[in-house]
């Protein structure tokens, strides 16, 4: 093969996630097997020790999330991967990582629920859980890949966002992308950006582990580097030690949320297709967006001006993109593999400027282009 | 080292006074851990102290190391991540009887089974202190607690036996009454390569003592003195003589492959291949 030729490799979304994590510089993974995410753990069990990284299968998902946070505190780039019931178990420690600002990546390959549900079937029903799964107000960043290629690139992005914002980032995959095989291109060095958490530039004496502007991200020292600082899930001040006043809670919670909400331009990724002249918009994520793209083409062949808005970043929700779309079109259709979660956000942001129509499937099958086309014809 | 020197070297004096009740035994354990760390000459910058939630969980906040106050029951799981990611660190886990035997019981079993090089110190006051006196898995049968107003019908269990059976390679029990012995047991646990476990019998006069009419802190420490049987003496006693008593000292020691070293061996092997 010539030097400049692109090398495409066939792999699944779960395998691509492993490749992306390795490119991002992962050196710690803790997990617990669960379908349909297990291939990620298996892949990293094999690959991590070959690059000097650590893999551990913990006794459950609670422990996996805890080990990931502990490892990250020593400076490791750490990740865990799970599905459905396992994502539920991780929630308390995801909140701990959010409150204590520990960077880490949590992959949730969504499966059909509730409970054990249909373990090998796809779903998009954890969208609200990815936002509000842990208790209390907290920041949330979640990304939804729509292809195997994107599973790789968004895994790198997830690590970068976690490091930059010192917060857990959720890669909200699903069974379809996780298990689907596609040809993808593994980017070469220099073709992707790697970001690392900011380290303190002051001596341990002067270090304020949680000292930052009201919307800032504090620099993070490694455990073991001599800073000898304290980390607690209690409300704490800039020194890291507990503070019991309501006003301290107010300051910390607002800063945690604002550090994310004040930099949306660095986080929000939205794909728009043929929105320029659209009279009707589809809003779809993950694999459903692929059906939507096909439906868009079919509709345009019939002279119906349809566009697509695909949130790649689902949290924080790309409110402005939806607001702008609603001002442009008469109607929005939201196809999703649940009983209406993305639709709630779309309805909220449409502000009555466009009618919002739901299209839902919870029978373990992907919504087809024909179904979306039929809905387009119905509401146009 | 003199008391003042010890305090300034290893404790965050500016965080005092502590949150514990008058007469609580937890401070004696904190002091013993610090003295054991000093005896083993651990590098304070390379030492992490990790706890769960409870009165016991607040101990690391007063200690001048990298300290991590985690979620209820999960200290050992966080510690496993810290240790595996950076094996050169000394990792000490401070936990309560509820934290480690109830909600965190599974993590205890599996940390012991892996024989990962952590030193775990359990503050066993036989009760949930932080939440004001509910029974724990170590509350003795028919003792009173706010959630056992008619007597605790649960059976309690022996954590030292559990850890030994699960594969821990250093297991000891001490009390806050026998302070010198306790410092020695913790120091041995720190020196030991592998999973070390030290159960410390302490007292909660506020919630356990008062409800069970065990008197004040001094009475409760006297109870420890009267009910503790050193391991050598216990070996000579028939089982019926040990009824209602507990054995103190080093209870188990063995050698076994340590988890992070085993993992490093795999990394090294793959590098050679
Ligand atoms: C998930 C969760 N469940 C319950 C609690 C409430 N809680 C806080 S401390 C505690 C018990 C602590 O008892 P123990 O571990 O014996 O420690 P002590 O306070 O006696 O030192 C409980 C139940 C919690 N913080 N988190």
Chain A interface, Cβ < 8 Å to B: 27-28, 30, 49-50, 52, 54, 56, 58-60, 62-64, 66-76, 78, 92-93, 96, 222-234, 241-242
**Does residue A91 belong to any structural domain of this protein?**
yes
Rounded to an integer, the average pLDDT of A306-319 is: 98
* Tokens describing residue B254: 């063995």
The pTM for the full model equals 0.98
Atom of ligand 1 nearest to the CA of B125: 20
Q: What is the CATH number of the domain that holds A299?
A: 3.40.50.920
Domain end (from A185, A210, A227):
A185
Question: What residues have CB less than 8 Å from B102, skipping those under 6 apart?
Answer: B73, B136, B137
For residues A165 and A20, state if they share a domain: yes
> Mutual orientation of helices B159-166 and B105-114 as an angle, nearest 10°?
40
User: Does A284 share its domain with A179?
Assistant: no
Inside any domain, residue A223: no
Superfamily for B20-272?
Answer: Thiamin diphosphate (ThDP)-binding fold, Pyr/PP domains (3.40.50.970)
Nearest residue (by CA) to ligand 1, atom 6, is B131
On chain A, the residues whose CB falls within 8 A of the CB of B18 are none
Q: Both ends of chain A: CA-CA distance in Å?
A: 50
**How confident is the prediction for chain B on average, in pLDDT?**
97
Q: What is the number of other CB atoms lying within 10 angstroms of the CB of residue B148? A: 18
**C-beta of B189 in contact with ligand 1 (< 6 A):** no
Q: Is the pLDDT of residue A1 over 50?
A: no
Q: Say if A239 falls within a structural domain.
A: no
pLDDT digits (tens, 9 = 90+) for B214-263: 999 999 999 999 999 999 999 999 999 999 999 999 999 999 999 999 99
Tokens of B188: 């041995």
**pLDDT at residue B32, rounded to an integer:** 98
A219 found inside a domain: no
User: What is the best residue among B60, B128, B145, B209 to mutate for testing ligand 1's pocket, by most ligand atoms within 8 Å of CB?
Assistant: B128
Give me the domain span that covers residue A312: 270-379
Residues 6+ apart with CB under 8 A from A253: A136, A137, A138
- Chain A residues whose CB is inside 8 A of the B88 CB are 224
CA of B98 to the centre of ligand 1 (A): 6
**Per-residue pLDDT at B1:** 77
In a domain, A246, yes or no: no
Q: Note if the bond before A215 is cis, omega within 30 degrees.
A: no
Quote the ligand 1 centre to B53 CA distance (angstroms): 5
Distance from CA of B213 to the nearest CA of A (A): 33
Q: How far apart are CA A182 and CA A180, in angstroms?
A: 7
* pLDDT score for B240: 95
- pLDDT given for residue A5 in this prediction: 65
Atom 12 of ligand 1, nearest CA residue? B54
The residue written with tokens 């690391």 in the block is: B60
Q: Where among A152, A185, A218 does a domain terminate?
A: A185
Asked if pLDDT for residue A7 goes beyond 90, the answer is: no
Q: Residue B271: closest CA among chain A residues belongs to which residue?
A: A50
- CB contact under 8 Å between B267 and A78, yes or no, is no
* pLDDT tens track for B97-134: 999 999 999 999 999 999 999 999 999 999 999 999 99
Residue A191 lies in a domain: no
**Ligand 1: residue whose CA is nearest its atom 26:** B72
Q: What is the CATH number of the domain that holds A83?
A: 3.40.50.970
Does residue A28 share a domain with residue A155? yes
Strand order in the sheet with A306-311: A270-273, A306-311, A280-283, A331-336, A355-360
Beta bridge partners of A310: A271
> Domain check: are A20 and A146 in the same one?
yes
- The alpha-helical segments, DSSP class H, found in chain A are 13-24, 38-47, 61-73, 84-100, 127-132, 148-165, 175-179, 246-261, 264-267, 286-301, 319-328, 342-350, 369-379
Smallest CA–CA distance, residue A23 to chain B, in Å, is 19
- Strands of chain B, DSSP E: 47-51, 66-69, 90-96, 119-124, 127-128, 134-135, 170-175, 196-201, 228-230, 246-253
Helix or strand run (H / E) with residue B266: helix B259-272
Sheet of A313-315, strand order: A54-57, A28-31, A78-82, A104-110, A168-174, A141-143, A313-315
If you average pLDDT over residues B181-192, what whole number do you get? 98
Distances (CA, A) of B115 to B108, B167, B169: 11, 7, 7
Residue A303 has pLDDT above 90, yes or no: yes
pLDDT at A206: 98
3-state SS class at A227: coil
Element holding B225 (H helix, E strand): helix B217-227
Which residue of B66, B82, B266 is in closest CB contact with A228? B66
Question: For residue A99, what pLDDT is reported?
Answer: 98
Cα–Cα distance measured from residue B244 to residue B200, given in angstroms and rounded to the nearest whole number? 17
pLDDT digit string, tens, across residues A201-243: 999 999 999 999 999 999 999 999 999 999 999 999 999 999 9
The rounded distance, in Å, linking the Cα atoms of A237 and A258 is: 16
3-state helix, strand, coil in chain A (%, to 5): 40, 20, 40
Hunting for tokens 């422990």 — which residue is that? A63
- Give yes or no for residue A321 having a pLDDT over 60: yes
Q: Is A210 inside any structural domain?
A: no
Domains in chain A: how many in total? 2
Q: Same domain, yes or no, for A281 and A175?
A: no
**pLDDT value at B268 more than 50:** yes
Query: Do A38 and A167 fall into the same domain?
Result: yes
- Would A250 be classed as within a structural domain? no
Q: How far is CA B104 from CA A62, A101, B122, in A?
A: 10, 23, 12
Chain B, residues 48-107, CB within 8 A of chain A, namely 48, 50, 60-61, 64-71, 74, 77-86, 88-89, 106-107
- Residue A18's pLDDT band (cuts 50, 70, 90): very high
**Cα A314 from chain centre:** 7
SS3 A101: coil
- pLDDT score for A4: 60
Do A96 and B86 make contact, defined as CB atoms within 8 angstroms? no
Cα–Cα distance, A163 to A105 (Å, whole number) = 9
Report the pLDDT value the prediction gives residue A3, as an integer from 0 to 100: 56
- B128 pocket-lining for ligand 1 (C-beta < 6 Å): yes
Residues A105-133: pLDDT tens digits? 999 999 999 999 999 999 999 999 999 99
Q: Is the pLDDT of residue B209 over 50?
A: yes
Cβ within 8 Å, pair A27-B266: no
CA-CA distance, A194 to A161, in Å (whole number)? 10
Pair A351, A136: CB distance under 8 Å: no
**Residues pairing with A182 in the sheet:** A11
Q: How confident is the model at residue B33 (pLDDT cuts 50, 70, 90)?
A: very high
Which is the closest atom of ligand 1 to the Cα of B124? 16
Question: Nearest Cβ partner of A28 from B46, B85, B109?
Answer: B85
């Amino acid at each position: 093969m010539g030097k400049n030729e692109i090398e495409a490799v066939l792999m699944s979304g779960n395998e691509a996630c492993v490749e992306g994590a390795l490119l991002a510089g992962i050196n710690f993974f803790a997990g617990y097997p669960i379908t349909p995410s297990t291939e990620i753990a298996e892949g990293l069990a094999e690959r991590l020790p070959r690059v000097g990284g650590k893999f551990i299968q913990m006794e459950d998902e609670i422990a996996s999330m805890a080990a990931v946070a502990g490892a990250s505190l020593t400076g490791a780039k750490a990740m865990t991967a799970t599905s459905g019931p396992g994502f539920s178990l991780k929630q308390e420690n995801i909140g701990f990582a959010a409150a204590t600002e520990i960077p880490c990546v949590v992959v949730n390959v969504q499966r059909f629920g509730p409970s054990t549900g249909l373990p090998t079937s796809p779903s998009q029903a954890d969208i609200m859980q990815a936002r509000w799964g842990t208790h209390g107000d907290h920041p949330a960043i979640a990304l939804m890949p729509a292809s195997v290629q994107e599973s790789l690139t968004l895994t790198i992005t997830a690590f970068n966002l976690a490091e930059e914002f010192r917060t857990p980032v959720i890669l909200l995959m699903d069974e379809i992308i996780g298990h689907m095989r596609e040809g993808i291109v593994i980017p070469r060095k220099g073709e992707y950006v790697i970001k690392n958490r900011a380290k303190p530039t002051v001596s341990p004496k002067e270090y304020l582990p949680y000292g930052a502007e009201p919307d800032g991200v504090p620099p993070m020292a490694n455990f073991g580097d001599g800073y000898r600082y304290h980390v607690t899930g209690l409300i704490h001040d800039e020194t890291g030690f507990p503070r019991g006043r309501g006003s301290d809670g107010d300051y910390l919670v607002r800063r945690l949320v604002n550090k994310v909400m004040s930099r949306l331009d660095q986080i929000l990724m939205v794909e728009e297709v043929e929105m320029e002249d659209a009279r009707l918009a589809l809003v779809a994520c993950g694999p459903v967006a692929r059906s939507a793209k096909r439906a868009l083409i079919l509709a345009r062949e019939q002279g119906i001006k349809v566009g697509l808005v695909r949130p790649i970043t689902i949290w924080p929700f790309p409110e402005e993109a939806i607001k702008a779309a609603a001002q442009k079109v008469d109607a929005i259709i939201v196809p999703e593999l649940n009983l209406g979660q993305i639709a709630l956000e779309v309805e909220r942001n449409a502000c009555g400027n466009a009618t919002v129509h739901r299209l839902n499937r919870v029978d373990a099958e992907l919504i087809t282009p024909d179904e979306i086309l039929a809905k387009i014809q119905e509401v146009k | 080292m003199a008391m003042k020197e010890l305090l300034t070297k290893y404790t965050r004096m500016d965080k005092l006074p502590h949150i514990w009740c008058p007469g609580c035994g937890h401070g004696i354990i904190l002091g013993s851990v610090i003295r054991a760390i000093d005896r083993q000459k651990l590098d304070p910058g390379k030492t992490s102290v990790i706890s769960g939630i409870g009165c016991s969980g607040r101990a690391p906040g007063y200690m001048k190391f990298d300290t991590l106050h985690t979620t209820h029951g999960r200290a050992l799981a966080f510690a496993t991540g810290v240790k595996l990611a950076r094996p050169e660190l000394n990792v000490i886990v401070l936990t309560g009887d509820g934290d480690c035997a109830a909600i965190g019981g599974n993590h205890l079993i599996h940390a012991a089974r892996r024989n990962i090089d952590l030193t775990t110190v359990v503050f066993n006051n036989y009760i949930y202190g932080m939440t004001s006196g509910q029974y724990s898995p170590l509350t003795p049968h028919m003792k009173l607690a706010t959630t056992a107003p008619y007597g605790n019908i649960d059976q309690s269990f022996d954590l030292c036996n559990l850890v030994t059976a699960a594969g821990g390679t250093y297991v000891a029990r001490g009390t806050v009454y026998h302070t010198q012995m306790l410092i020695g047991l913790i120091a041995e646990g720190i020196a030991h390569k592998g999973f070390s476990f030290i159960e410390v019998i302490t007292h909660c006069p506020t919630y356990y003592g008062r409800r069970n009419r065990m008197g004040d802190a001094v009475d409760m420490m006297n109870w420890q003195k009267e009910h503790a049987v050193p391991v050598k003496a216990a070996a000579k006693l028939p089982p019926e003589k040990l009824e209602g008593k507990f054995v103190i000292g080093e209870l188990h020691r063995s050698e076994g492959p340590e988890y992070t070293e085993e993992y490093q061996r795999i990394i090294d092997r793959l590098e050679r291949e």
